[in-house]
A and B are shown apart, each in its own frame.
Chain A
Amino acid sequence: MKFLSGNRHRGLSKVLRNEELVFYLFISPWILGFILFTAYPIFSSFYLSLCNYDIINPPKFIGFRNYIKMFVDDPLFWHSLKVTFYYSGVSVPLGIIVALFLALLLNRNIRGMRWFRTAYYTPAVISGVAVGLLWAQIFNPNFGVLNYLLWELFRIQGPGWTFSEEWVIPAFIIMSLWRVGGGIVIYLAGLQGIPTELYEAAEVDGATGWIKIIKITLPLMSPIILFNLITGIISSFQVFTEAYVMTAGGPHNASLFYNLYLFLNAFRWFKMGYAASLAWILFLIILTLTLLVFRTAPKWVHYE
């Protein structure tokens, strides 16, 4: 066998080796980019997380003191974690439910489905900056249109939204629901891939609408839900632009998202070492949550 493969290698070697060279030539931009913008920064970032570094003076090695400080002596770290977990824990599941619900309605083969889909996805192509400005104005408790509508339609005295410590995160959650269009598109594509014979067979067995959704649609959609759950968790931990534009973390740090706190440490206070350690903890949190979700997957995700 060894002899044979050696022989084969000799026969083809020139062509193959040439082809291999061409392969590396083609992927060389990525290899260089990987070394410069991924591999080197990973090591550097870990080293920096063990340093005190203000950009002007050379980094000073301090061991794990940044991490220790974070856990023992930085209330803002815990606070920003709390804010982010609260936002993530509500906005991700709600987003999945709303997107799935709308996708189910859109999938009824009704006329104008394309128009609805176009409308629902529109907010997703608008920048975080514009979205932040737009909603800051709608939420404004003094002249904003939201509280006016709440009063006119439901006689509800609207809260202070982005000016209230209690209501600022719910405001961000509402804003995130406004942008579920991407999820709708993914679910709709999945729904359209479900063979109609399955539903027909179920109808023959006397299944009604709800039964069909619970017994056929949801199990077949569960891998897509899993995927959206994970990407949703990851992006909810990286909220930055809207918070920067709308509240800059206020009032009284009530919307100090983790990623915003990291940015402030790095680029406002120039605590580069500390910010690097925050970044690593963020990575660990995302990794842990992803693994936890995957751990639960066999219980509820249906693979064909």
Chain B
Amino acid sequence: METVSFWNRKSIQKTAGDIIAYVILSMGCIIVLFPLFWQISNSLKTLDEVYAFPPKWLPNKPMWNNYKEGLTFMPFSRFFLNSTIIVASVLLGNLLSASFVAYGFARIRARFREPLFLLVLSTMMLPYQVTMIPIYILFRKIGWIDTYKPLIVPSFFGGGAFFIFLLRQFFLTIPRELDDAAKIDGCSFLGIYWRIILPLAKPAMATVAIFTITWTWNDLLGPLIYLDSFEKYTAALGLANFTAQYGATPWHLLMAVSTIFMLPCLIIYFLAQNYFIQGIVITGLKG
């Protein structure tokens, strides 16, 4: 009798706690998602409706034309194409070079391997501001300003310590017997890397890919520093300079373009959520 009532009380407590948790979490959810709803709503309003006070929750008539106008009154379709070109190139660079280097650190014996790997990790501690200015001057000297090369070429040189670290950790979990068997069959290190490790590392490569895509797509500072010509702008840079071009702020168009701009990252996130989560948990990074 004692225990039954004890469990009852406990389960009531648990249910009450769950309800409170639900209420708080749902309120948090509304707060988190509201700005996104607001953006989409504003992207479909007329400019007068955006400025209306009290604010209108939804437009009288959704102005789908804002999306067309937003893309055409500044060459945003061009900017989106530019961003896509840069993202695709950086993606190739990061995936190839980070996995190549990570394979070396995970699988090949050499005397200074551990200290060198510590060096890789220690570069993560250095804030980018310290190296940013000399790198800019270097690219300027070799005439790369106003080209995409400063944004793309560095990704082919190791792809960044984060990704080397992430991939190495994953490669270490692949059973070594697979390498040994391949070695006995006469497979070279390059062959093992290409035919055994890479195909097995697809989940980790996917994590590297989606972080590369979102970071590169969203990057403002790089394009801001290196690109001068209007027609070479990335979408992020075009969006950041949108107001400067237009004079008064056309919030309705701005929100339409901004929604299109967010879309690729949101879609990738919803489709590949687990890879995001895995990446955050492995490296402890916050996104």
Contacts and interface: CB of A to CB of B under 8 A. Distances in A.
A181 interface: yes
Contacts of A118: 270, 273
Nearest to A287: B125
Interface stretch (A29-37, A68-76, A155-163): A29-37
B287 interface: yes
A238 B130 CA distance: 12
A154 interface: no
Interface stretch (B58-66, B98-106, B174-182, B199-207): B98-106
B262 to A, nearest CB: 5
A145 interface: yes
B214 interface: yes
Interface string A26-70: 110110111011101110110010000001000000000000000
B251 interface: yes
Contact of B239 (A130, A138, A178, A183): A130
Contacts of A127: 217-218, 220, 236, 261-262, 265
A165 interface: no
Contacts of A20: 108-111
Given A29-B158, A130-B261, A283-B127, A116 B281 contact: no
A262 B137 contact: no
Nearest to A227: B284
Given A37-B154, A235-B286, A126 B129 contact: no
B133 interface: yes
Given A37-B157, A48-B134, A189 B127 contact: no
Contact of B258 (A30, A133, A240, A275): A133
A132 B38 CA distance: 14
Interface in B104-147: 104-105, 108-111, 113, 116, 119-120, 123, 125-138, 140
A106 B17 CA distance: 12
Given A142-B53, A145-B38, A185 B131 contact: no
A178 B133 CA distance: 32
Nearest to A108: B21
B32 A29 contact: no
A294 interface: no
Interface residues of A, number: 90
A220 interface: no
Contact of A29 (B33, B156, B189): B156
A22 B285 CA distance: 31
Contact of B133 (A24, A45, A148, A238): A45
A235 B218 CA distance: 16
A112 to B, nearest CB: 8
Interface in B145-163: 154, 156-158
Contact of A272 (B17, B137, B255): B137
A228 B281 CA distance: 12
Contacts of A116: 25, 28-29
A29 B239 contact: no
A164 interface: no
Contacts of A266: 132-133, 136
Given A30-B101, A121-B276, A126 B130 contact: no
Nearest to B123: A38
A267 interface: yes
Given A124-B287, A148-B54, A185-B281, A119 B33 contact: yes
A279 B129 contact: yes
Interface string B7-35: 00000000001100110110011011101
Nearest 5 A/B pairs, CB to CB: A33-B157, A26-B104, A127-B218, A182-B286, A30-B158
5 contacts: A23-B108, A38-B126, A116-B25, A127-B218, A134-B255
